[in-house]
Amino acid sequence: MLKQLFPIKHVVGFVSSLVLTAVALLVLMDIPSAVKMPILWVTALLQASLQLVLFMHIGESDNKKSLYINIAYALFVGLVTIFGTLFIFVWGWYK
């Protein structure tokens, strides 16, 4: 009975998130820049997918189309915000 109530998936997901965060922090040590970025990208994508699947329950809905449309829209808004900020503040597009 107690085994059915214990959220083993969530505990494994939490520990995995901590491990991925530790890996990302360890990359910041004395590793060449050409190797840092791919490792950071991989750990970031793994952690984002882990968060979506385990903690945001992306795979538990019957209407998967709307979920993926919402994710695509969120990515679009995030990328527009990031690149808009870069255009204005870093690349001097406002001149």
What mean pLDDT do residues 71-83 have?
Answer: 94
Dist CA 70 CA 76 (whole Å): 10
- Say how many C-beta atoms besides its own lie within 10 A of residue 14's C-beta: 14
Report domain extents, the chain: 1-60, 61-95
What mean pLDDT do residues 29-43 have?
Answer: 88
What mean pLDDT do residues 18-46 have?
Answer: 89
| Coil vs helix vs strand at 28 | coil
Dist CA 43 CA 23 (whole Å): 8
pTM: 0.68
Dist CA 20 CA 77 (whole Å): 25
Q: Are the beta carbons of 13 and 55 closer than 8 angstroms?
A: yes
- Say how many C-beta atoms besides its own lie within 10 A of residue 46's C-beta: 16
Q: What angle do CA 88, 92, 95 make, to 5 degrees?
A: 100
